[in-house]
Amino acid sequence: MAFQLTKTQKMVQALAKEFADKELAPIAAEMDKNERMEPAILEKLGKMGFMGIGVPKEYGGAGFGMMEKSLMVTELARQCASTAEVMSVHTMAITGIIKYGTPEQKEKYLTGSAKGWIAGFALTEPNAGSDAANVQTTAVLDGDEYVINGSKCFISNMGPNEGDFVTILAVTDPTRGYHGMSTIIVDRNTPGFIIGKREEKMGIRAADVSELIFENCRVPKTNLLGKEGKGFKIFMEALDGGRIGMASQALGIAEEALKLSKDYLKVRVQFGKPLEKQQGLQWYIADMATKVSAARALIYEAAMTMDRGENCTEIAAIAKYYASEMAVEVTNKALQIYSGYGYMRDYPLERMYRDARIVPIYEGTSEIQKNIIAREELKK
Ligand code: COS
């Protein structure tokens, strides 16, 4: 299938590329080392409307679909995976608000997003990782408020340095399994909502990933997103798009690793000739290019399927599974091409390899993606 980007999509892609080259490339290594996003970057992302890309125009956003989001995440990831992750997780977290939010919720959280607010997506708990339906955080209705108790772990976009609000999955009726779970929006400064340990990670170090604790945290009943008992479905639907976003992040990292590898092979001379003349290394490039192209095609197919309003669960899982494994392989090969230099922090490859390594893990491991793909295939 031939994919032809529209004029607008090419423009969006160019805008993100320009931002990534000018603003992210010079400081990505430093942000990684400091384990902190530059506040100015978060501000600029907001001002340029990156956080409102999927927000409908009536709430001040760009009203774009998954394809445009994917293109932007890919371009950001080429220079800084942490920044791409912030944007991708945010757009996933507000999916439910766009689809199920009340007019008041949309006015507050979507308009806020269009102005640069950052949202987290809190599903994972110590005993609910791959087994998402084992969430134990509770939200008990008390008059006009939900009282939330429990904890979440490994939550992106809600930590000491980032995050304005978070959508959480909590049990509202413990007798009904996942049909008794609901999605609730929690503002950052709500009493009883505590941001716990900020994780020290192997990769995507600049982005906050933290533990969240809820101790008799009271939020207005009006913060319920959609209907009670529909929270699991809202989260699963959001993850379909999130997985396309993560696949796009993997693609961006891999595209850049391929480019850097080609540049290096042209200038590095060993045994009296540039490395690009070695057939073994040419084959590395051929393998890398083939896999990057295949991942791109899967991602475009997934994004376009979603934008047509069709069920994209399987193709999103396929794209995420393939692209994330591909990015680990491609960055590993690129590191091998750079060899000793690649292992050193003076070059970006070791960071890119570390950044790629998370993608087959979060937003559903590769093993979970395979379960989903098989489940969908066997329905046919
Ligand atoms: N879109 C809409 N609804 C979905 C869905 C999707 N993509 N996937 C599942 N559902 C619905 C099902 O239709 C079912 O609802 P009904 O009973 O009303 O039909 C319900 O959700 C449960 O589905 P299923 O039986 O498949 O659930 P399981 O408990 O077996 O778990 C997986 C399904 C493994 C897919 C889920 O637990 C999962 O995605 N785990 C990984 C979680 C993850 O990505 N964690 C990372 C968090 S973000 S870093």
Just list the catalytic residues.
363
For atom 36 of ligand 1, the residue with the nearest CA is 132
Cβ(89)–Cβ(78) below 8 Å: no
pLDDT at 2: 66
Tokens of 118: 């950052």
- Indicate whether this model's pTM tops 0.95: yes
Could you read off the pLDDT of 88-134 as tens digits, one per residue? 999 999 999 999 999 999 999 999 999 999 999 999 999 999 999 99
For atom 44 of ligand 1, the residue with the nearest CA is 364
**Facing residues of 213 across strands?**
151, 194
Which one of 233, 320, 369 would you pick to mutate in the ligand 1 pocket, going by the greatest count of ligand atoms within 8 A of its CB?
Answer: 233
pLDDT at 3: 81
pLDDT at 1: 57
DSSP letter string over 289-332?
HHHHHHHHHHHHHHHHHHHTT---HHHHHHHHHHHHHHHHHHHH
Distance 167 CA to ligand 1 centre (A): 17
The stretch 324-345 carries a mean pLDDT of 97
For atom 15 of ligand 1, the residue with the nearest CA is 233
Could you read off the pLDDT of 250-268 as tens digits, one per residue? 999 999 999 999 999 999 9
pLDDT at 104: 98
Confidence of residue 74 (pLDDT cuts 50, 70, 90): very high
For atom 35 of ligand 1, the residue with the nearest CA is 372
Cβ(351)–Cβ(29) below 8 Å: yes
CB atoms within 10 A of CB 272: 6
Distance 224 CA to ligand 1 centre (A): 20
CB atoms within 10 A of CB 289: 15
Burial 212-233 (b: 16+ CB within 10 A, else e): bbbeebbbeeebbbbebebbbb
pLDDT at 66: 98
> Residue 156 CA: which ligand 1 atom is closest?
49
C-alpha to C-alpha distances, 343 to 105, 230, 257, nearest whole angstrom: 47, 47, 14
Which one of 123, 131, 210, 236 would you pick to mutate in the ligand 1 pocket, going by the greatest count of ligand atoms within 8 A of its CB?
Answer: 236
> Residue 121 CA: which ligand 1 atom is closest?
48
Distance 287 CA to ligand 1 centre (A): 34
